[in-house]
Chain A
Amino acid sequence: MSADSPESPDAGSSSTGSRTAIHRAEDRTGDPLVSVRDLKKHYPVSDGLLSRSKSYVKAVDGVSFDIFPGETFAVVGESGCGKTTLGKTVARLYGATDGTLTFDGRDVTELEGKQLRQLRRDVQVVYQDPSSSLNPRRRIGNIIREPLDVHDVGTKAQRRDRVAELLRMVDLPVEFRHRYPNALSGGQKQRVAIARAIAVEPKFVVLDEPTSALDVSVQAKVISLLADLQDELGLTYLLISHDLSLVKNVADRIGVMYLGNFMEVADSRALFQNPLNPYTEQLLSAIPVIESHEQSLKPTAVEVQGETPDPQNPPSGCPFNPRCHRRFDACDAVEPELVEVEPGHLTRCLHTPGEKREEVIQALPDGVSFEDRDGTLTD
């Protein structure tokens, strides 16, 4: 990784700005860089001072996925679905409640102290709002240099040169090192945050809504910068976003999250062409589009009902059943599991019940067979 660190100052212009996600998906061979198995993160909620019982918000509840080197894996979902918690847990900023997290073939779930610090060199995070993730009292140069200091990289002079190089890599003038964050625009601040994240040459970067605080004209530039850096440095991204149009264009694979779990995981193209889960259908049909031929790429309009339920008190059975337009009688009785329907395309829905088929049939009322379950649709 450190051997092929780009030296050329105009490296940013050498690679392609627009890119297709699909070519990457094909060379997804070998071992995953990040492997998450049954990851859980539960937050205790106190029910009052005198209460002994503790309830939990299951922000992340049994999520499994792999991210392969050089890939962008996106997690999309509505606010409160647990996507940020997932990102922070995968970056080891939060300790997991349960499950395992493997990075580069090594179990890192329980790492502590020095070893955890080693991991931090490989895993970095870019946050949503650069105004709050950059210390307003430090100069840009110091902000970017901090990870180098922490990890004791090179000599003082080398660090200074590296800061200049990093500023060039994110297309900012080198003089900016003497400025404070408040003298920069939102897009420039986000570039600084990106420079800080790539300073220690990580392999894996968690991007937590990196552009949602930015205006569209600036967002486009930050996105293409991230794509360029990925190509140059061979970075692997976990992109957390609520913007489906954006995700479609930059992610190789997408996980659709709802109440702490994935409802559907698929290659970007497959997810948009053939959404299998009703929740994905609702999300896609709700995207406000700006071109008339985009309209044809959305699934037929389904009326979206209700809002995300209270995560402290999730519905029984399928978490999505109260809002689902394909709900049938077994949905509030049996909890569906993530089933691989086509290679690489997983969905969590009783319409594709997998091993739970027997259970689903049993939960149906008398006289209704699994085959005519669509006939029992409730409104």
Chain B
Amino acid sequence: MTGSLLDVHDLSVSFDTYEGRHDVLDGVDLTVNEGETVALVGETGCGKSVTARSIMGTLPRPPGDITSGEIRYDGEDLLADEAAHERVKGDEMSMIFQDPMTYLSPVYPVGSMMADVATYSGGKDASWWEILKNLLGHRADREAIRERSVELLDRMRIPDPEGTLDRYPVELSGGMRQRVIIAMALINEPDFLIADEPTTALDVTVQNQILDLLRERVEERDLSMLYITHNLGVAREIADRICIMYAGEIVEVGRTEDIFDAPLHPYTRGLLESIPKLTGFEGTGIDGQIPDYTDPPSGCRFHPRCPAAMEGTCDVEPVEEYAVGDDRTVACHLYEDGMDFDDAAAIAADEATYRDEDVQPAEAGVGGER
């Protein structure tokens, strides 16, 4: 791992709607180092996909509006230079989506779509004459592309890769479609992959297969990846580092094993406790729900749901990211910048707990997510 490949700094995104202005992303900082897989984890509506789309340059603008921040890829600021963004997103980045059926066209065979991606991506100009020739199947490098597609599909362990190229997406199963999507994302040999919940629509057994394949390909090509998911179990399987996101803010960043061993932010702790585990399940959950982005809470956006919220601090002062120990940041007023990790872990165990003394464990389930 040398230096950072992708560096998102202070990214803020708003959306204008009839209900008013939604301040969705609020100063997101995110770094993906070369050869590293970073998982961005958060619940529905926390801004994970908006972050991904901003990086990919596919954010619909309007209604979206990037109000501040920079997205640096290999040192180049993509937001400042639109031409660079076009080039980078075509040649060096690829994206894998959640629902393959939405991103594969039902009327073209797999091979034709893969060839199109190989030919047209990266904003390359093509004359109408070339497009017509391609449509009629007289693509210049037809054989080369076909060979490459077969090899990629084979690498994704798709049985009969040759035959698959001539099949339509409806003829493939969910897992096979997702493999095609991944193969398609790799056809231009990107350096950076963004995977937006690629296994969410799949069964657990198939999810495991896809995760293994994805990990293999990433290691083989030394790719860097931003993996977006709501499932902490999946993040644990695939990521080197994890960023926990809540309501448009990154609340905690750390190495995967550290996050699971000693979660610091009250939100991370609540999330981990809420997941039913094979070892047992208290069913505590977190009170409340994700805030309304037209009027996000002042101070820390999590304070209305936080069991450790301090009046006069958390609801007033905006939080900053504090570095705790090494390679760990947490955005919470419980901690101080430059704090020793062991001290922070002690505070977390004391304060950021969802079973306080005055509530019996038996009652912890009551209260509702009002």
Contact = CB atoms under 8 A, between A and B. Distances in A.
Q: B234, B279, B365: which has the most chain A beta carbons within 10 Å?
A: B365
Interface in B279-298: 279-286, 289
Contacts of A290: 232-233, 236, 260, 272, 275, 277
A221 B281 contact: no
B204 A221 contact: no
A307 B176 contact: yes
The 7 closest A-B CB pairs, nearest first, are: A224-B365, A288-B233, A220-B285, A17-B365, A249-B281, A171-B368, A224-B283
Contacts of A227: 283, 365
A287 B278 contact: yes
Contacts of A17: 282-283, 361-366
B278 A289 contact: yes
B369 interface: yes
Interface stretch (B28-36, B63-71, B101-109, B205-213): B205-213
14 contacts: A17-B283, A217-B286, A218-B289, A220-B281, A221-B369, A249-B276, A288-B231, A288-B237, A289-B233, A291-B277, A294-B277, A294-B279, A297-B278, A304-B209
Interface string A271-308: 01000000000110011111111100110000010011
Given A13-B366, A170-B368, A217-B43, 15 more contacts: A17-B364, A18-B281, A78-B203, A79-B174, A187-B368, A216-B275, A220-B275, A220-B282, A246-B276, A286-B204, A286-B207, A288-B236, A289-B236, A290-B275, A307-B206
Contacts of A225: 365-366
B367 interface: yes
A286 to B, nearest CB: 4
A219 B285 contact: yes
Given A185-B289, A221-B285, A289-B233, A307 B362 contact: no
A219 B271 CA distance: 11
B362 A16 contact: yes
State which size class the interface on A falls in.
35 or more
Given A172-B368, A228-B365, A290-B260, A220 B277 contact: no
Contacts of B276: 220, 223, 243, 245-246, 248-250
A245 B283 contact: no
A360 to B, nearest CB: 26
B231 to A, nearest CB: 7
Interface in B216-274: 230-234, 236-237, 260, 270-274
A298 B237 CA distance: 15
Contact of A185 (B175, B205, B270, B369): B369
A294 B289 CA distance: 29
A217 to B, nearest CB: 4
B58 interface: no
Interface string B334-369: 000000000000000000000000000111111111
A221 B367 contact: yes
Contacts of A12: 366
A207 to B, nearest CB: 15
Contacts of A283: 204-205
A173 B370 CA distance: 9
Interface in B173-214: 173-176, 203-209
Interface of B: 43-44, 173-176, 203-209, 230-234, 236-237, 260, 270-286, 289, 361-370
Contacts of B364: 17, 224
A287 B362 CA distance: 28
Given A173-B370, A289-B236, A304 B208 contact: yes
B204 A288 contact: yes
A171 B367 contact: yes
A144 to B, nearest CB: 15
A326 interface: no
A298 B361 contact: no
B174 A307 contact: yes
A319 B232 CA distance: 32
Contacts of B237: 288
Given A17-B361, A171-B367, A221-B367, A244 B204 contact: yes
A289 B289 contact: no
A242 interface: yes
A249 B280 contact: yes
Contacts of A4: none
Contacts of B363: 13, 17
Interface in A1-15: 12-13, 15
Interface in A183-197: 185-188, 191
B94 to A, nearest CB: 24
Contacts of A218: 285-286, 289, 369
